[in-house]
Amino acid sequence: MVITIFSVITRSVGFLYKIFLSRILTTEMLGIYNITLSLFGVFVTILCSGISITIARFVSINYCNKDNKCNDSLMFSSLILCIIVGLGLSAFIFLSRGLFARIMTSLDSYLLLISLIPAIIFCAIYTPFKSYLFGREYYLELNLVELIEQILRVLVCIGVYILCKSISIIYAPTIAICVASIISTIIGIIIYFRKGGKLSTQKIILKPLIKKSTPITLVKVLSTLLMPVIAIVLPLRLTKYGMSSSMALSLLGIATGMVLPLLSIPGTIIGSLSTALIPQITTLYECKENEKIFKQVSSSYKFTIVLTCMCIPIFMALGEPICKFLFNNADAGILLKTASWVMLPMGISQLTTTIINSMGYEKSSFRYYIASSVFLLASIYILPKYMGVESVIWALGVSSSIVSILNMIKIKSITKGNYHIITLLISSIFLTVSVYYLVKYLSNLIGSIAPLFINIIVSGAIGVISYISLAIAFGLIEYEYITTKFSKFSKKKKQA
């Protein structure tokens, strides 16, 4: 519950921040900024993905075994490893100007990347401490730091934009990222030591860290690397078929800066669920609690499918009004409407990859992702000729479907459980179609007599309530489960 609440708040602040950036930056600037941010995401992923999950798993296991000294040595070893990797990545950026000049579409993109080096270094320092808090399930403290960092990004960016007129507008968000990273790192380290954490040099533990984290890191790096590759390849392919460079960058900005953030909204809640699952699944798998694992995975499947299928008809019916209201861009609304279905395979892929990694099958996860990535890259290269900018949506959707199917087959073979995924999907999609026509009808009706904002709120709210009601009626959501969860949450709130 804590992770979900904070994740929704943090992502909401970040989403509003994206809207602010879309207002102060031109679509071409937004495309340049997203290219830089994608490359920055690759370097952050190298630091924070595999090593973070591995540290959290080891911390959880050591804490269960009451081996705090091992955790102290683990923290020192991981800090040394992360700092070395962070400095190496920074040096690579400095020394590879020619490489980045060839693969990036403008000099501004490389200069923006240079300005983000302080954020990379402090991210390296903070990663072990963040992972420890995660492994010990200090979710409140961890999510509070993330929320503070997101708020600082917004405030610093607005401050730089208003006060420093001599600085190009496009540099304001990168300065904000650096300042927020430095402050959040300091806060996270203070929390770590206040929680009794220590650093010990008695034993250096590097080999297990590298061995376990490498497959996860490779998957995450490839996943993050695909976005800058798409940001580079897609405009080139679009210009090859007659589109101007400026128009191609503008369409890229619409797809990556407006549509994809909206499509990732269900992923915010699914991500919080996945975060909570890692230490839980790890512990249950180590203790061979197969029945509890089956219940945990089964409920996670149902939650993810119902949540994403609830969002799909809302975005399909209200895509254009939403994007007109948020971005004042009708093209983004048209693309959002056709891309809404992608949320389902993306959500399942996100969940199942976490489950597989939690049970120690990192290599399988890596192989599956390679297979889907080959298809994704081939699609980005071929489809723009026939589908234009929509090719990126279809490529992401089908590649996520491949990962989801392979992951679910693997999970079924590991847990020996029958999760009735096909039945669940068919029922959820049936409800999605019904709710879509309802919301579409309401939107047309209300839109003729009420402002755009009222139309979105009323139609969307009725759509959500209708889907939840139908899901309860068809048994996709258990009413007793909801009331039990809320009663427990209320009791905890009163006790607090």
- The set of residues, in sequence order, having a beta carbon less than 8 Å from that of 308 and lying 6+ positions away, is 266, 270, 343, 344, 346, 347, 348
Which residue reads 């992972």 in tokens? 131
pTM here is 0.69
pLDDT for 395: 86
E strands of 252-379, at which residues? none
pLDDT for 77: 85
Give per-residue pLDDT as tens, 66-89: 666 777 888 888 888 889 988 998
How many whole angstroms separate alpha carbon 423 and alpha carbon 429? 10
User: Above 70 in pLDDT, residue 487?
Assistant: no
% of the chain surpassing 70 pLDDT = 89
Confidence of residue 186 (pLDDT cuts 50, 70, 90): very high
Give per-residue pLDDT as tens, 205-264: 777 777 777 777 777 777 766 776 777 787 787 888 777 777 777 777 788 778 888 888
pLDDT for 225: 67
User: Above 80 in pLDDT, residue 397?
Assistant: yes
Confidence of residue 481 (pLDDT cuts 50, 70, 90): very low
DSSP 183-235: HHHHHHHHHHHHTT-----S----HHHHHHHHHHHHHHHHHHHHHHHHHHHHH
DSSP letter assigned to residue 35:
H
